[in-house]
Amino acid sequence: MSSREVLGQAARLASSGLLTQVLFRLITFVLNAFILRFLSKEIVGIVNVRLTLLYSTTIFLAREAFRKACLSGGAQRDWSQTSNLLWLTVPLGVFWSLFLGWVWLQLLEVPDPNVVPHYGTGVVLFGLSAVVELLGEPFWVLAQAHMFVKLKVIAESLSVILKSVLTACLVLCLPHWGLYIFSLAQLFYTTVLVLCYVIYFMKLLGSSESTKQQTLPISRMTDLLPSITGSGAFVNWKEARLTWSFFKQSFLKQILTEGERYVMTFLNVLNFGDQGVYDIVNNLGSLVARLIFQPIEESFYVFFAKVLEREKGAALQKQEDLAVAAIVLESLLKLALLAGLTITVFGFAYSQLALDIYGGAMLSSGSGPVLLRSYCLYVLLLAINGVTECFTFAAMSKKEVDRYNFTMLALSSSFLVFSYLLTCWCGNVGFILANCLNMGIRITKSLCFIHRYYRDSPYRPLAGLYLSPVLLGAFALSGGITGVSEVFLCCEQGWPARLAHIAVGAFCLGVTLGMAFFTETKLIHFLRTQLGVSRPTDKTM
């Protein structure tokens, strides 16, 4: 498969992932607003911070390294060995679930059962849901490697919708169940997700007329079960060693990704109610970032991993593939920068209004608006870091990955220290400031790698971080106008003034985006060509 074909499939995967994330976040957005009317902020804090941290930590430590290593392999591989390696995520997930569950129950502060009932059951069921999700890992990796776009969209959309419906019904009918509601909904979500992948491959491999069978490396479901291969090796040891390198890195990256939750959970710098408010604001602030940047990062990591050969420098790569990778990286950097700047500039003047509409005075008063404004700056750094690390991790050799682990270790340690100190100094905002500092260091590290990688080639993908002075001026002018509009029109003057403030922002946003359309012609061409790629009928699901 040529690099252009891989790029087309990665673009479709990213766009479909974007639509899926939009659906997820909008549902979650509405669901949280609904839940706040029926349940206490203490329960929201326990679920969204403590129990979700247990689930995400178990999942991340058990599978992240395996996913990256197994998606980096080429087409010529023994999929039985890859499948065997992926099944190791299940016992690893059981270990982490049991160990972390014991920590959550025995070492951490247990909430008052009169305020947050059924905490122990919640810990058990969230840990179990992580193990259930890991049962579908071989199917997920096979689907991702072969770009089954519709399968991913349908499976994740269906599971999230059903989970949300179940949660809303239980909250409305049985609010006294407390954590039972969210625990059962989480277990239901992972079960439906795994069943979607299993049922799809059962139907696909059982159909003799399916042309997909000819492109798959397996012919029956039992090929995905653990087995001894013809070569006698249980796993591909090259993939296993790469997995170990990524595992050490993943452990540290998880601390960086969820660092503030670890600080809140283990150091008790905020009570459960404040944790709930922080998490709501945090989710609102990261809404657009997760909608746009996460699917792009996941999909184009697959693209870079397929196009570039690991362990080879730029000079040894196929020059056509190297050129395509440079063009894509430059365009993604430009897209991330523009999206991040838009969120930062316009988010500053509309944070208080957004919080007031979403959660009322509980969120819009106090530190809420300052917290959300700080998060808007963090989103800009998050966008750039997602793209730079997406390329860096796909192009690094095993030795470079190992060396990068030492950097991650230093970042993890400093992040936890700065999170604690800054939070003690300036409250919730300290978490965001520590994240910004960390993200800046990670971006710098990745930019240095990209510069070295392309240094001896004629390509300069880092040019994507430069914007025209005219466009920068439009952003600055929009920020000033919307800032003045907020002072005079928002948020105590009533809805007519608020609507006027929104109209001012919409006008400035339209002018800024129009300026971007006329000045960033190279990016517009990239988006048009990739989003308009013709879709092969047999490769999208």
pLDDT digits (tens, 9 = 90+) for 501-541: 999 999 999 999 999 999 999 899 888 886 554 343 334 34
| Axis crossing angle, helix 319-359 with helix 495-519, rounded to the nearest 10 | 170
Query: Is residue 478 situated within a structural domain?
Result: no
Query: Is residue 2 situated within a structural domain?
Result: no
For residue 61, what are the domain limits?
39-218+231-257
Query: Is residue 5 situated within a structural domain?
Result: no
Q: Using one digit for the tens of pLDDT, what is the confidence trace for 428-467?
A: 788 889 889 989 999 999 999 999 999 888 889 999 999 9
- Same domain as 421, residue 297: yes
- Same domain as 356, residue 388: yes
Q: Using one digit for the tens of pLDDT, what is the confidence trace for 85-107?
A: 889 999 999 999 999 999 999 99
Query: Is residue 213 situated within a structural domain?
Result: yes
Q: Using one digit for the tens of pLDDT, what is the confidence trace for 383-430?
A: 999 899 989 988 888 788 878 877 877 877 788 888 888 888 887 788
The two tokens of residue 495 are 């809805």
3-state secondary structure of 280: helix
Of 433, 464, 495, the residue that ends a domain is 464
- Same domain as 434, residue 292: yes
Residue for token pair 């008052």: 112
Query: Is residue 541 situated within a structural domain?
Result: no
* Cα torsion 291, 294, 297, 299: sign: negative
Comparing CA positions, the residue from 377, 381, 370 lying closest to residue 479 is 377
pLDDT at 514: 94
d(CA 396, CA 402): 10
Q: Provide the greatest CA pair distance for the chain.
A: 75
- Same domain as 380, residue 242: no
pLDDT at 403: 83
Query: Is residue 525 situated within a structural domain?
Result: no
Q: What is the DSSP letter of 455?
A: T
Stretch among 18-32, 155-169, 298-312 having the lowest mean pLDDT: 18-32
pTM over 0.75: no
Residue for token pair 């839940």: 35
* Cα torsion 118, 121, 123, 129: sign: negative
- Same domain as 245, residue 305: no
Stretch among 206-220, 271-285, 344-358 having the lowest mean pLDDT: 206-220
